[in-house]
Structure formats: C-alpha cells, structure tokens
C-alpha cells in the first residue's frame, strides 16, 4: 500500500513568529522566552522576524494571540506564561482559560499557536521546566525539559506541516 506522509521540518527560515509572554512570574517566563528565542535563532528565524509582546498575565495571552493572528503579520504564535498552584481554585481557572483560549485562537484562525504556559505545583517545578534548575536543559548535555524551547520547536514544525498540507493539495 502506498500512502502520503506529511511531516514538518525544523527550518524556520523566512518565518514570522509572534511571542506573547506573561509578565506574572517574570523570572520564569523570561527564561522560557530566552529558550524560545534560542531555538528560533538556531532554526533560521531572524530576529527582525520575531515580535515579542509582554502582557500582564496568562489570562491576557488568548486575546493578544487572537489580535496578532488576525493581523496577518505572523505565521505562528508562541504563548508563554507560568501559573503556580496556590491555595485557591484560582489556579484551575487561570490554567484552563489561558490554555483553552490559546487553542481556540489556533482553531479559529488557522494560525499555529504553540502553548508554552507552565501549569505547575511549585516554583521548583517551574524552574525545571524553564531551564533554571540543574539537569533541566539549561546547560549543554543536560536533558532538555525546557518548555519554551519545546514551544518554539512545535510552532515552527506546525507552520511547516500546514504549508506542506496546502502544497500537497
């Protein structure tokens, strides 16, 4: 049996990427942003083709992503944030709304939106997923658990998958 296979690549040459980063838990989100920017650069995305938008918190990510997607100025979007569980149900609401909102933007606009929002139980868990803890992908040779890097890779690959689907008819 013969079938077609469509796969994305990690080539970011010529891609325009929007990154929306939540200011809340700034140190952690800045580390996610740094990792995403590193991957984008290594993939061939030029700095002039990256727009970084800082918003107050994770709840503001979906609206900003929707406006950015509708603008036509980017090929893909990366949403970055960090929500750490507290003593109230607030955590559950923020996590659900921000992640579902980003997914909805992607579905409704057709613009890939990679979700790099950490939803963790502690600051220590956030540090591991942002490459700030030893052994978390912050140094060469360490296992890469960095979610900012992962989101950037996913964004590039999804843009290329969608383009390959369009090209294949």
User: What does DSSP assign to residue 18?
Assistant: E
**H or E segment to which residue 138 belongs:** none
Q: Is 76 helix (H, G, I), strand (E, B) or coil?
A: strand
**Catalytic site residue 90?**
yes
CB atoms within 10 A of CB 99: 19
**Tokens 């579902």 appear where?**
100
> What's the token pair of residue 8?
């994305």
**Active-site position among 90, 93, 127, 146:** 90
Positions annotated as catalytic residues are 90
């Amino acid at each position: 049996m013969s079938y077609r296979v469509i796969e994305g690549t990690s080539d970011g040459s010529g891609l325009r990427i929007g990154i929306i980063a939540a200011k809340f838990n700034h140190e952690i989100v800045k580390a996610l942003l740094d990792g995403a920017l590193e991957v984008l650069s290594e993939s061939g995305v030029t700095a002039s083709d990256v727009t970084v938008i800082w918003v107050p918190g994770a709840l503001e990510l979906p609206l900003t992503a929707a406006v950015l997607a509708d603008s036509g100025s980017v090929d893909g979007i990366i949403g970055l944030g960090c929500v750490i569980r507290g003593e109230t149900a607030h955590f559950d609401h923020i996590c659900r709304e921000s992640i579902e909102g980003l997914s909805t933007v992607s579905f409704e606009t057709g613009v890939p939106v990679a979700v790099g929002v950490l939803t963790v139980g502690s600051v220590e868990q956030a540090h591991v997923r942002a490459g700030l803890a030893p052994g978390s992908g912050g140094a060469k040779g360490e296992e890469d658990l960095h979610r900012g890097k992962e989101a950037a890779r996913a964004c590039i690959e999804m843009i290329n998958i969608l383009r390959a689907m369009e090209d294949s008819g």
